[in-house]
Structure 1
Amino acid sequence: MHDWSDENRRRILSHITSAMEKGYSKLLLEDHIVPDQNAGARETLLDMTVVVWCPGIERTRRQWTELLQSVGLVIRNFWLPEGHAKGVIEAELLDARGI
């Protein structure tokens, strides 16, 4: 997902969410998860590289949360091994109450 603009990410994710079923479906994304604060040199340089070569960015936890909420998903967990910039984001459809 990091190689795409926000507009294209939302379009891709909207197609996925339209095929999901509440209480049954889960979305698992493997991607870079940058710390909200004090990102290391590796994450920072990777983000700058993606910005230069692609229309995308590397996202922080907060940015992932905002993106997925904008298409009706809620993050249930970030699976990120200690010391790694790449992990798995587990998300489900929001219910009518926004939970």
Structure 2
Amino acid sequence: MFIVNITYQTPLEEIEKHLEAHIAFLDKYYEADVFLLSGRKNPRTGGVILARADSQVALQAILAEDPFYAHAVARYDVIEFVATKTAEPLVYLKES
């Protein structure tokens, strides 16, 4: 399991130019069951994605497709963790 911490590196006006394509990117990987949840930070300085992938290398390859990454408007910090405890509705995410 991975937490992807996205930090904008440019003004919001530049982020907005790529937002529609970024949302399409997110939709693609929700459909592929890679992304589990995502959203904007408050205040709006970036976003967070909870993802599951075979490896950090595989996830990095996916993130490289993000228009925010391709246009260098955001920085990505990836934290890998093992989900050993969950709330009951999320038990399917639990790892050994």
Q: Say whether the fold is shared (TM-score over 0.5).
A: no
The TM-score with structure 2 as length reference comes to 0.32
The TM-score with structure 1 as length reference comes to 0.31
